[in-house]
Structure 1
Amino acid sequence: MIYFPETVDELARLSGEIRAGGTALHDRRRLGLSHGPLIDLRNIVALENLNLSKPSIGAMVTLEHLGEHPWIQKNYAALAEAIAHIATPQIRRVATVGGNLLQRNRCWYYREKDLECYKKGGDHCSARREGQVYDVCWDLGPCITPHPSTLGVVFLAYDAVVQTLKSPGLSIEQLFGDGRSASCDHYLPASDILCAVELPPPVPEVSGYRRVSDRTFAAWPLIEMVVRLQGEQYISHAHIAVGGIASVPVRLAWVEDFLTGQPLEQMVFSRAADLAADPIVATELVASSKYKLVLLKNCLQALLQTCAHSLQRSC
């Protein structure tokens, strides 16, 4: 059975699994990991609103529409850049902001219906037995698969707030948690509905996005990163968020603290990269993916250099 509500109030009265663009859900249905009635959001026009005055992004705004919007490209460059690297043009045409944030993890063991998994109600992590290149590097908890949401990384770097039917605002950290949950990919209750994502007002800055993957297009990243810098000759504010390293997107707050007040110099960037690979958020490393520390350092150093050059040209 499929329901087609036309308002958020009507949606709130229904029970079932929500379908937005369907690019992630249909795969799980095919694998037998999703059952029961569906609630299709295509007729709820209120969720498609892109309000630039706040700015607020409706949960049903497509990745294509958001990433190709000139105002977003001008004021939130890293967001537009990141979207351009997600999946394929065909998928971005139907995939939605809410769907990208709330998708389930892409672990091969989770998606094999005959294997045990914490996130399927099991009592162990099958991925730990074998190890694979996509595993997280920092071992925060039971699950060692990174959350697949690129937008989660970007919105974390932008200090975005998630608006839901029952909450006036959840930070990205509150939505995803600390990565130590054995059973869920996010903390939005099944009875709640993600309605919009609100960004802070744009500020003068330079920003960039970079991912490392095993092929150029349509591949899940091994790691991905967003860097935002403000300042002139010295860095006044730094925002750095990383995906693929832990089971949730992570802010490198200790690296941001180090960069604040520092000059735009190569030696500073090199030191920041070393600090990034020496985390205070995790004491254990996953053996199969320790190589990601090298990717993390190189990615951060390259992004800092790119942003610094842009800042210096604008001065």
Structure 2
Amino acid sequence: MAGILALDVGGTKIAAGLVDPDGSLDYTATLPTRASEGTEMVWSVVAELIEDVVQRAGGRVDAVGIGSAGPIDVQAGTVSPVNIPGWRGFALRDRVAAAVPGVPVRLGGDGVCMALGEHRYGAGRGRRAMLGMVVSTGVGGGLVFDGSPVLGRTGNAGHVGHVVVDPDGDRCRCGGRGCVETIASGPSMVRWALAQGWSPDTRDGTRADAKTLAAAAEAGDPVALRAFRRGTDALAVMIASVAAVCDLDLVVIGGGVAKSGALLFGPLREALAERARLDFLVGLQVVSAQLGGDAGLVGAAALAMLR
């Protein structure tokens, strides 16, 4: 059974899947990225997943689509993910092509792939100007206009996690200061809450992470609630700015933090209504992703199928 091999490379986990041309996901596998263990260790994770999916496909795939955390360079086929320190200018496209010889390999940003997947098969179907976002370990994004992904000069268009929302804010891993990712990503919200005195109950061995923070906010913890409000305010500033530049009609948000549901979307919609006041921005819809964690894989396959 042949199909499209899709890869979704993130700072926390790497996923691979076998996708039919109609967007159906026949098989998936996921492994931890092991980002702190060096260049070749991360590649070994990718190689293991490729071998697994190719075996599942009966030894043959028709094409490969890769969605990677960025920055990326589509022309060179390289990636330099902020959250994978060992990969700087890493020749991911060529390494994958060598592992799966004889088929076309296409590289895109993970945010672009998520957005394309949601536009083709999920919450964004039929929309003209859409921003897809992932709010998780980082904040990623991609733009789809009139059915086509907007890539830009190097493939990094839509890299909304590094829109500056606080010029005097914390230093970001990208080297800048005050990026929305430093405020609204899961780890950033947790760090801020801990610094403000939040004391999660970790007696059962539970890590203080975004899921724990969301549970505390749902239970009414004031610091956890403020952390989410602070994060949603930063997202609203960024979305209002991007929407004004791009004349968006839809924003689709996925990722681990988005799983907190109303805790994220309620305050975000309120904050956006306060900030996006131009006539063409009033009523801008912000919705949850429909494809969940599969959006990146399905979108990477869709990218591989683009003519």
Give the TM interval when normalised to the shorter protein: under 0.3
The alignment's TM-score, normalised by the length of structure 1, stands at 0.27
Higher RCO, Cα 8 Å, sep 6+: 2
The alignment's TM-score, normalised by the length of structure 2, stands at 0.28
User: Whose helix fraction is larger, Structure 1's or Structure 2's?
Assistant: 2
User: Whose strand fraction is larger, Structure 1's or Structure 2's?
Assistant: 2
